[in-house]
Every structure is written in structure tokens, then in C-alpha cells.
Structure 1
Amino acid sequence: MTLIARTRARAVETLTLDSPANRNALSAALVAELAKALTECAGDEDVRAVVLTHTGNTFSAGADLRDPPDPDALVALLRQIVELPKPVLARVTGHVRAGGLGLLAACDLAVASHTASFAFTEVRIGVAPAVISLTVLPRADPRALARYYLTGERFDAAEAARTGLLTAAGDDADAVLEPVLDGLRRSSPHALAETKRLLTARVLEAFDRDAADLTALSARLFASPHAREGMTAFLERRDPQWAV
């Protein structure tokens, strides 16, 4: 079963997360298939830019709790997006949760419609946004992240844009995206690659410095009793035992 749909128009490759049964959660299979598609885009001279989008009303629900990816594989995917020698743009018209925000923040540009919503829900299932911090922390406002990391609150597209998680938001994501794509199509591929290298240097520094520690933290937290209770409560659609 294909989990990533692919289309191309005027040198822009669109990769669509297409796993509606689990709300495009980051399963081991989806992560592997997306990584393969990105590798092919990187080596294709006819691809000027990549758009990452989704089917259904959810961009990504975060890690698939039934078939989670290996933390090292998720780190590799996020770094692959950051290092891809072509701009990667996220197009969001639905919900983004937990690990999906790491995917969003890995992209060079991100646009969303006002129907989108966002939340770092890790603390509510007994873990922390560890691995995704590699891409989220260098991009977004620290004070805003302190609130949303610690509370798991939901916030809207306007707030996501204000905090730096989005480039722009509007009533129509495609209307926001099209001028950006037009600019990329008018730009030198070599210049785009070198400019992206300048823009992502700080993010890659975080990978070099922190990836091993955050991967170990993620593995430890997901193996904890708190995570077992939180994930069981989530799957059983009940409050975890610590809720008051």
C-alpha cells in the first residue's frame, strides 16, 4: 500500500501523506516511504522544490503509537528534509499534532489555512517533544514554546505563524503558497541550494550537538511507566491516572 502520493507540476514535486486510517501518523512504514521519495527528489534535476502536504483533515497526528518509527529513523528523516538541496515547503489545511510539528518545522517554509490547528500533545501521554525539538527549537519563539510544550494546549494557524512555526497563514493555503512557488521557479537551482545551506546552518548545529542525547531521551521516556499509562489511556479514550 502506498502511503505517499506523488504529483509534479512545473518543476514542483508534491508529496502527499496519504494514510487516512491513522490520520497520517508517523509510522515506521510512512517514515521509510517518505525518506525514499525525498531521496529521489534530491537526485532529480527536474525538481526545483518539494511540497509536503496531506489527505484528509490531519497533516499528521504525530508518532503512530501502534507502529512507531525507530527514533533514529525519525531523526534521519528530519535531517534529510533540512539538508535536502532543494526547498521543502509544508502545505497544511488540517490538524498537526506532536511529531507532525517536527516534520512541519523541518521544512524551509510552511503555510496553512485558518482551518489548521496545532498542539504539542506529548506531555499528555507521559513523554516529551524530544526528537522534534531538533527542528522546532531553532525555529520558534521560546516563550510560546514553553507554554505549548508544557500544557499541550491547542493553538490556531495565526498563533503558529506568530510564533514562527508557520511562514504564513490565510483563508486559502494554496493562495498563500502560489506566490512562493512562483518565486522558487524563477530562482537558480544552484543559488537556492546555497541559500538554503545558509538558512539551515543553525538547525544542523542542533542535530550535530543534540541528536544522540534527544534520541536516547525519547527512547527512555517511551519505555517508562508514565508513557505506558498515557498511551493506553489515549487508545482507550480515557483520562490518564494523573489527570486531576
Structure 2
Amino acid sequence: MPEEPLIRAAHDRGVTTLTLDSPGNRNALSHALVAELTERLADAGKDPGVRAVVLTHTGNTFSAGADLRDPPHPDALVGLLRGIVELPKPVVARVAGHVRAGGLGLLGACDISVAATASTFAFTEVRIGVAPAVISLPLLPRLDPRAVARYYLTGERFDAAEAARIGLVTASGDDADTALAPVLDGLRRAEPQALAETKALLTVKVLEAFDRDTRTLQDLSARLFASEQAREGMTAFLERRDPAWVW
């Protein structure tokens, strides 16, 4: 039997919605999900009938981060994030749940992100012995530097209002769809070529970070994921216990 798709696609009035649909691992960024999402985004980017793309999810988690059992290759993750930034159509994240670690890289790559007030966010990498390396490519150019230092270093959880304050999301509301509606209305009223050129203006600094820092951050990620500390951290996470370094 063919495998069930991990990404569901729908189209309405010029907007393609791509839904992460891997509830068994809380939409973690597995090798297969990253590959499928990259392909779906590329298709939307080439379709003249697509004005914008909405990236959303099933279940109560937008994405739990990298799938520790089946992680994507670092080149594939970079390709996905850069593909979102370079797509000639605006990409809007709709978050009606929680986002952790690598899932936050998707939000950083999107042009606009809206979240329900009940959503929570956390950069949990340091708690398993690694660093938010590759996902920093779209995030660091866009986030408040003092806030990101705190949340990168502590792994603390924060809410949607704080995510909006530091630039991780554009807007939050009681309901994600209510927050999304005016955004989609505005995009549907915009001329497609004007959208593409305006997005190119807005993403210059982010793409400069990709050009400058990709190899360095990929090397950092590979080194940390191969370390004894990461093995202990990931084992502890999968076993639902504290790693050895917790006091």
C-alpha cells in the first residue's frame, strides 16, 4: 500500500494551504516530511494560480522540532528553510498549537506568522545538548537579540504574546483563523508580481545570512549532534527522564 502523505494540500481563491499531517510524532521534521514539504512548496511556487501559501498543521502541535528517530539531512533542512524564504509567493504560518525547537525555524522562514493565544513556543535544543544552529539562519535576522539570547540559552517556554513582541510571530489572537483572515484578504488584493518583488526586498538580509553562515552552522550542528552530550540528551528525552547534567 502507498504511504499516507505527510502534507495535505488544499486551494481556495488563490491561496494554497499546506497542512503538516504527521500526528504520530507531533509533526516533527522527519526526513520524509521535510522532503515532501519542500516538493509541495516548490510546486506552489511555480503555479501561476497560487497567490500565497499558508503553512499549518493538524493536532495541537505545529511542529515538535527535528525527528530524533529519523532526522532530515542538514542540507535538506537548509534547503527547506531557504526555499520558503526564496519562494516568489508570500508564505504565512498559521499556528493553532505548540511549536518547539526546529519547528521555530519554519516560523522564522515564513513571511508572516499568526498564532492562537493558547500556543506556546520554546527553543529546547540546549536541554538535549545541542544548539539551534541551522534554524538560526532565518531567525536571528528577524528576532529581538536580547530576547532570543534568553530563550536560546534557557529553553524556557513562552506564550504567543511574547512571541509577537520578539518578532517570532506577526500577530496573535484568541483564534488563529480570526488572526489569519485579514492577512489573506490583503494578499488576495495584491498584484502577484508586486508581491514577489516586495518579498524580495524584505528577504535580502535573511538570504545574506544563508549565504554567509550556512556552512558554519551546518558544521556546528553536525559536531554537536555527534557528541556524547547529545546522545545522552536525546536518550533522556526519549526515555522521558532528566539528562545527567541536570542539577
TM-score, normalised on structure 2? 0.98
**Distance in 1 (alpha carbons) for counterparts of 2:180 and 2:27:** 21
1:169 equivalent in alignment to 2:165: no
Equivalent in the alignment of 1:226? 229
Residue 213 of structure 1 and its aligned partner are, at CA, apart by 0.6
1:201 equivalent in alignment to 2:210: no
Q: CA RMSD in A?
A: 0.4
The aligned amino acid for 2:68 is: L
Structure 1, residues 192-227: CA drift from partner, whole Å, max 9, x if none?
A: 000000000000000000001101110110000000
State the SS of the aligned residue for 2:107.
helix
Structure 1, residues 50-89: CA drift from partner, whole Å, max 9, x if none?
A: 0000000000000000000001100010000000000000
Residue 115 of structure 1 and its aligned partner are, at CA, apart by 1.2
**Distance in 2 (alpha carbons) for counterparts of 1:152 and 1:14:** 30
The within-5 A match list for 1:29-68 is 29-68=32-71
Q: Indicate which of 10, 14, 31 corresponds to 1:11.
A: 14
**Distance in 2 (alpha carbons) for counterparts of 1:189 and 1:160:** 29
Equivalent in the alignment of 1:213? 216
State the SS of the aligned residue for 1:8.
strand
Equivalent in the alignment of 2:143? 140
Equivalent in the alignment of 1:23? 26
Consecutive aligned runs of 4 or more in structure 1 exceeding 4 Å deviation: none
**Distance in 2 (alpha carbons) for counterparts of 1:114 and 1:177:** 13
Seq. identity, %: 75
Q: Indicate which of 85, 88, 92 corresponds to 2:91.
A: 88
Residue 172 of structure 1 and its aligned partner are, at CA, apart by 1.1
Residue 237 of structure 1 and its aligned partner are, at CA, apart by 0.3
Aligned residues between the structures:
244
1:97 equivalent in alignment to 2:121: no
Residue 100 of structure 1 and its aligned partner are, at CA, apart by 0.2
The aligned amino acid for 1:94 is: G
Equivalent in the alignment of 1:150? 153
Residue 234 of structure 1 and its aligned partner are, at CA, apart by 0.1
Structure 1, residues 148-169: CA drift from partner, whole Å, max 9, x if none?
A: 0000000000000000000000
The aligned amino acid for 1:188 is: E
**Distance in 1 (alpha carbons) for counterparts of 2:221 and 2:96:** 28
1:241 equivalent in alignment to 2:231: no
**Distance in 1 (alpha carbons) for counterparts of 2:173 and 2:182:** 13
What 5-or-longer segments of structure 2 have no aligned partner?
none
TM-score, normalised on structure 1? 1.00
State the SS of the aligned residue for 2:158.
strand
Structure 1, residues 116-143: CA drift from partner, whole Å, max 9, x if none?
A: 0000000000000000000110111000
**Distance in 2 (alpha carbons) for counterparts of 1:172 and 1:10:** 21
Equivalent in the alignment of 2:182? 179
Equivalent in the alignment of 2:163? 160
What 5-or-longer segments of structure 1 have no aligned partner?
none
